Amino acid sequence: MQKPRLSFWQIWNMSFGFMGIQFGWGLQLANMSGIYTYLGASPDDVPLLWLAGPMTGLLVQPVVGSMSDRTWNRLGRRRPYFLVGAILASTALFFMPDSSALWMAAGLLWILDASINVSMEPFRAFVADKLNVDQRTAGFVMQSFFIGVGASLANALPYIFRQYGVTGSTPSGIPHTVQYSFKIGAVVFLLAVLWTVFTTKEFPPENMAEFERTRRKTYGSATGLAKVFKVIGELVREISNAFTNMPKTMKQLAPVQIFTWLGLFCMWMFFGLTTSYH
């Protein structure tokens, strides 16, 4: 289907929610190791407590991506996931710095990361859904722009509060600069995603009859959690086929990706702690 060409501001609106998503990622990447240590975690405990990020990405993203491919309602295909993920993630962000025990912060991080992944995964497909091939580069560039803006603001916010004289800490020892940043981040996350949800429309499936047949084939009469398990079964088959038919170049890139993410997570977990010690 030839899609209508979108204007700069339409691409802006459909990508704006990514700023909120990255605001959420930026706050946790810069501050969660510190929050854990304030709540009594040793440096040796930090990697285990950070498992929420990679595990939820591994488990949630494929399932949500596959489910959103098979979704259509009055909000569209991807926007229901944007909205649900944003509400849950904003709630977890808001209460994270009020944690009074390590288990509370760890539990909230699992909720936060799972919810961010629910919002983020369909955003990637949103570009292909909305834009023709000749505009997709512009769509991804706009998403990258908002990723950079969100991450920069999230990292700078505690410093800005410090410069304006904010001092003190919560009863758990978490600085007020971090506490206020998370609460502002929760509001920014939700408002940014709501902006995209309410300013951007989605195209219905090109062949609705075929879409419904595919959905019935996948789900059958399943409802609720049974739908999720049906999708997981379908995903296992799809992933198996993908590995079998994967181009040689993709196989060569796999170890590069593995070691890149290994290094990134080592940096995210310990860079802030290391610099604070010295």
> What is the percentage of the chain residues whose pLDDT exceeds 90?
49
More confident of the two residues 216 and 115: 115
User: SS3 letters for 226-262?
Assistant: HHHHHHHHHHHHHHHHHHHHCCHHHHHHHHHHHHHHH
> What is the percentage of the chain residues whose pLDDT exceeds 70?
92
**100 three-state secondary structure:** coil
Could you tell me if 54 and 266 are in contact, meaning their C-beta atoms sit under 8 angstroms apart?
no
pLDDT tens per residue, range 53-79: 888 888 888 888 878 888 888 888 889
Range 222-238 average pLDDT: 73
Q: Which residue, 14, 264, 30, 253, is CA-closest to 141?
A: 14
Q: What angle do CA 96, 99, 102 make, to 5 degrees?
A: 110
Q: How many CA atoms lie within 13 A of 9 on its CB side?
A: 1
- For the beta carbon of residue 198, count every other beta carbon within 10 angstroms: 11
Domains and CATH numbers, the chain: 8-204 (1.20.1250.20)
Range 164-181 average pLDDT: 94
Prediction pTM value: 0.85
Range 107-124 average pLDDT: 91
The pLDDT-based confidence of 266 (bands split at 50, 70, 90) is: confident
76: β partners: 73
Q: Is the pLDDT of residue 189 over 80?
A: yes
How far the first Cα of the chain sits from its last, in Å, is: 57
Question: The tokens of 20 are what?
Answer: 């909120």
